[in-house]
Structure 1
């Protein structure tokens, strides 16, 4: 099976490529523009690729989705995993939204346009729990979408583009909505990465709001197992599927775990509530369990320990 992964140098994308290559029948093409405006520095994304570049069934293309020649890339591709995009809720406001329009909307449309000309078997779009907005209970895929941030709007627009191309030209779309993915290689702008680095530098942890907000935390390797399963799963074309984690916790719960793992008390710095972020997220993953055989395995304490160890061993930090 020949598989194209966009955003291959990113946090989830690099893990996905490594997982796909564990199957000796897979050939993986990883595409990433290494755009400078990403919250993950270019040298970090290059570091993420270090093992992949040595693999004889991996081909790396440093190309922008807006400029790529699909006639050179898409022939013989069976599955497209579209993970490329501009992440981040807090940075999506104001003038910066232009970057989100370009990388999350325009780039997705152009890739879908390319895929409409070739007989790919599946187009898997990486979306986010941010499309749901504020919900009080466990949320399933039928819930009304009401994003609270421009980032969430841009990802929901990408979902709608997928549906347009599925309906009109038959692109075989599957939408996955990720819930707060964490673990080794997590982006520097994400909470756990920032928390761990502040602790290592003996700085207080910045907490937005009261710290009682909760998230459904998804360990990256669990997430990648779900993504990989879409390549083999039957009867999933047209589906939207939540990918959540094994454990839900508050920010203060997570800091208590970090105190246990580091073996000392951690200072806290409470700040104003972040704009555009829901107070709670909680995924109903029953559809993923049925359609993908998905069962998250990694508990939060183990996942945090793995992320701490990864940051300790990363030479650029």
Structure 2
């Protein structure tokens, strides 16, 4: 039934363009912002990309098998030549991007997912090579479950894989400081370098914001959008920086921390360490992103000058009764 179905990977064709764009950005950084690139950091990012490709080839087949199994139980059928149903492609792309928003949000709010996703945020630099920091261990999280509703809705697994590939290609170019802002109409709807810089920031204001892949409208709809503030310099990376360019430590450090917490935690808290947000502890010894933001907001309230009212009088006579 599926012998004639297309099965190419869009990202494979995009690799030469990725390399060319990185070289162009390196030349830009050499002249304009040399701190954007650090040789050891860039090498680590490149090794991340290579390793994630190998890991996907080794472990991704299990997820593919689950999707093809679920497809036999689909509620709607696009027909045997599903790839010729033109309207299904844009619909699939939009719905897959909505799926990406939620799986990405889970990647920041559930520590089991974060142990894999933290790889992408581990660099303290923000450039196109950072986009290559893809996880090696994504197949060891249940993130694939977010895609099952689309399979059951009748979208073929190959169609979803192609849509996901184009989604990934789009996200490559937004990992840059070389582009300030896009036209206003574009910034309103689409994810952009400005929006995604916020997502990679460790500033309390920016933590766990802008999860979008292609369409920033999801963040605006679900209350996780934050505009980039020109007056606040962005600090990239993770709250507790790696402090190392060791590739294996960068890949597995959060898994090691998670297993350590699971080993030492009382039995009644073990599942919570797996499913609660990063930074959560049963004794409050560490901070979550929400706790960091609340503390920052309190500090802002204390340092913000308040209007002076003398003798309970209104200072502005125009406002007097």
**Shorter-normalised TM range:** under 0.3
**TM-score, structure 1 normalization:** 0.24
**TM-score, structure 2 normalization:** 0.24
The structure that has the greater radius of gyration is: 2
